[in-house]
Amino acid sequence: MRQLSGLKLRGRLTLWVCLLLIAALTPVVAAGVHVIQRTVEQQVQGVLQVEAEGLRELVESSLQEREANARAWTEDAIVRGALLFGTYAKSDAVLATLNDRHASFAGLVLFTEDGRAVSVSRPALRETFAGREREVLATPWFQAALEDRLDPDLLTAALTRDDAAFGRPVMPLALPVLSPISGARVGVLLAAYDWSQVEQVVAGALQRSRERGQRSFTLEILDPNGASLYSSRAPGVPTPHQTVRAQAEDDSTRAGVGSRWRFVATMDAKEAFQPLRDFLQLSVLAVAALLLLAALAAWALARGVTRPITTLSDLVSRVVREGDLTQKVALHGHRDEVGELASAFARMMDHLRESTSSLQQGTRVMGQTVAELTSVTEQQQRNLTRQAAALQETQVTAQEIQQTSQLAAERSQAVLGLVTRAREVGSAGEATLEASLDGFEQLREHGVRFAEGVAALNVRTHQIGGITQTVKDLADQSNMLALNAAIEAARSGEHGKGFGVVAREIRGLADQSIQATSRVRDILDDIRGGIHGTVALSEEGQRRSEAGLAQVHASSQSLRALTGIIQDNASAAQQIAMAVTQQNAGIAQIFTAVTDLSRMMDDTVQAMQGTQRMTHTLRDVAERMESVAGVWRV
């Protein structure tokens, strides 16, 4: 945050917009990549699974078809007749014809039960098996054919090596030939399936993978032990380090050709997920481009926001630095908050310009006025100084005359003042006592009304207690009714369960009402106790206020008698002092007039001096105001 505080507003706005965009895009891009990655993985796995299933179906159907062909050939009349009657010329022709029609077989050989090859589809096969009766009898496939069974393990083992008779890997489909008359076994037919024909079976799947651009796509057939029976991978091509694979196992319920084989479709993981990597690269480039565009847009937005503010800041700097109020605020095309700020600043400049101009004019007028006022006050001060000297001499003469009459009037004035003070004190005491009586009367009336209110409140509490008792009685009745309803519901059996639930709820509400009324009754008892205490205190206060009121009435009567005596003494003292006062009145009036005139003259002189000081101060202020106002140029 300290580093951000060092940036300008434009940079902070741009940075915050970019950060907000990154924060908004990051979870979206991450979720999208995750979903796309899972989708691609599922698609690749699904394609490989489909190919594996397809391979299994193709191979199984092909092998079943070949097995069906071989079984059909064992039932051929010419083949059976050759074994029964020893005529093999026709059977050779039949086998050759069948072999030509089904090129997927490496050869067809008809054996007798003693392992002798009596009929072949190709002449070379006759020479190959000539004199090898013992070897043929010892082969597992011949033994299985004598027992009329196709052993999957034997067939799988035969595929892992090149057959000596055929010079290539073949699947020996050996089946017994039965007599059509007795059903007895008369020989064995060997149909050697050329295992290299699997290439033609999987050619379509491999072609589709090439068209999809999947160069590392491989199909494999594995036996139950994991040995490879077939692989479309070219010899010498290394196996990828990381592969994606899917397999399908033979799910036939009978033991036969292809039983328990595993059909595997594999692919190089790097090639399989190359589209995903390409998409991620494009996504990264798109996000980078989007961030770049967002940064440019944020910079343009920040520039549009901060440019008017920068203009106003420069304008204020020039006004403060140069004191030039003639600057004009020119921001056009901004009707937002910045435009409002510019308009307000322009109005402030106008007001400041007008105020400064008025201040400069006022300071000039004030300076002229202060100069004139200073001249007038100096002339008046000289005149008042001469008048004050004359009044001082008159005041000395009047003071000597006053001293002769003041001695006679001092005693009478002192007595008169004491009598007057006593009269005022008596009148004030009587008025205060009357006010106290009124206050005590009001206090007694308030106490009576308070007692009446407390009594009424006590009555209300009694009424509330009755109401709570009524509520408690109703709750008891509800509780009893709920109990009866629960009993009736129990008698009703299954049909009364719902009513029993309602009865329990009503009983619970009745118990709550009883508890609430008990709490209300306790609260009312506490309130009633407080009310009785309050009533006792109010009665005691009322008795004390009546006793105090009686004492105040007695004091009032005594004070009225004392006031009458003081009034009589004051009248007598006033008659005594009246003559002396009239005698001193004339002299006192003369002295007072002279004294007042002298005091007024002194006050006038002092005021004039104060006015002169104020004029000097005002002149200093006017000069400072003129210097301050002169800083600004309008």
Highest mean pLDDT range out of 9-13, 181-185, 215-219, 250-254? 181-185
pLDDT digits (tens, 9 = 90+) for 44-98: 788 888 888 888 888 888 888 888 998 899 889 898 888 888 888 889 999 999 9
Residues 258 and 351 in one domain: no
Q: Which domain holds residue 173?
A: 39-275
pLDDT digits (tens, 9 = 90+) for 175-189: 999 988 888 889 999
Q: Which two tokens stand for residue 171?
A: 């699947």
CB under 8 Å, gap of 24 or more: what pairs does 540-548 form? 541/447, 542/444, 542/447, 542/448, 542/451, 545/440, 545/443, 545/444, 545/447, 546/444, 548/440
Percentage of residues in the chain with pLDDT exceeding 70? Answer: 72
Residue 315 lies in a domain: no
pLDDT of 179 reads: 87
pLDDT at residue 253 tops 50: no
pLDDT of 96 reads: 92
Residues 265 and 344 in one domain: no
pLDDT of 119 reads: 92
Residue 223 lies in a domain: yes
Residues 243 and 353 in one domain: no
Residue 295 lies in a domain: no
Please compute the mean of the pLDDT values over residues 110-123 and round it to a whole number.
Answer: 90
pLDDT at residue 258 tops 60: no
Residue pointed to by tokens 């007072």: 592
Please compute the mean of the pLDDT values over residues 233-237 and round it to a whole number.
Answer: 75
Residue 285 lies in a domain: no
- Best CA proximity match to 185, nearest among 133, 143, 153, 140: 143
Please compute the mean of the pLDDT values over residues 404-412 and round it to a whole number.
Answer: 66
- Residues with Cβ within 8 Å of 530's Cβ and at least 6 positions away in sequence, in order, are none
User: Of 567-571, 579-583, 592-596, which range is least confident?
Assistant: 579-583
Residues 500 and 398 in one domain: yes
Q: What SS3 class is residue 263?
A: strand
pLDDT at residue 613 tops 70: yes
pLDDT at residue 566 tops 70: no
Residues 353 and 239 in one domain: no
CB 301 within 8 A of CB 13: yes
Residue 284 lies in a domain: no
User: Of 126-135, 153-162, 486-495, which range is least confident?
Assistant: 153-162
Residues 382 and 506 in one domain: yes
Residues 235 and 382 in one domain: no
d(CA 391, CA 395): 6
d(CA 606, CA 618): 18
Please compute the mean of the pLDDT values over residues 363-389 and round it to a whole number.
Answer: 72
pLDDT of 440 reads: 66
pLDDT of 404 reads: 67
Mean pLDDT for the chain overall: 75
Pick from 231, 259, 275: which residue ends a domain?
Answer: 275
Residues 253 and 354 in one domain: no
Q: How many helices (H) and strands (E) does the chain have?
A: 13, 8
- Whole-model pTM? 0.43
pLDDT at residue 411 tops 70: no
Residues 227 and 114 in one domain: yes
pLDDT of 429 reads: 67
pLDDT digits (tens, 9 = 90+) for 17-45: 677 777 776 777 677 767 777 887 787 78
pLDDT of 251 reads: 56
pLDDT at residue 331 tops 60: no
Residue 233 lies in a domain: yes
pLDDT digits (tens, 9 = 90+) for 140-199: 888 888 888 776 665 666 555 556 667 778 888 889 999 888 888 899 998 888 888 877
Residues 364 and 231 in one domain: no
Pick from 275, 301, 320: which residue ends a domain?
Answer: 275
Residue 326 lies in a domain: no
**Total structural domains within the chain:** 2
User: What are the beta bridge partners of residue 119?
Assistant: 110
Quote the distance between the C-alpha of residue 3 and its chain's center.
27
d(CA 530, CA 528): 5
CB 451 within 8 A of CB 542: yes
Residue 180 lies in a domain: yes
Residues 555 and 440 in one domain: yes
pLDDT digits (tens, 9 = 90+) for 208-227: 877 877 777 888 888 777 77
pLDDT of 535 reads: 72
pLDDT of 632 reads: 56
pLDDT digits (tens, 9 = 90+) for 340-374: 666 777 777 777 777 777 776 777 777 777 777 77
CB 615 within 8 A of CB 401: no
Please compute the mean of the pLDDT values over residues 271-287 and round it to a whole number.
Answer: 75
Pick from 275, 297, 330: which residue ends a domain?
Answer: 275
Residue 237, domain CATH: 3.30.450.220
Position 111 confidence tier, pLDDT thresholds 50, 70, 90? very high
Residues 271 and 395 in one domain: no
How many CA atoms within 13 Å lie on the side-chain side of 168? 11
Quickly count: other Cβ atoms within 10 Å of residue 623's Cβ. Answer: 14
Residue 560, domain CATH: 1.10.287.950
d(CA 74, CA 88): 15
pLDDT at residue 254 tops 50: no
pLDDT of 530 reads: 75
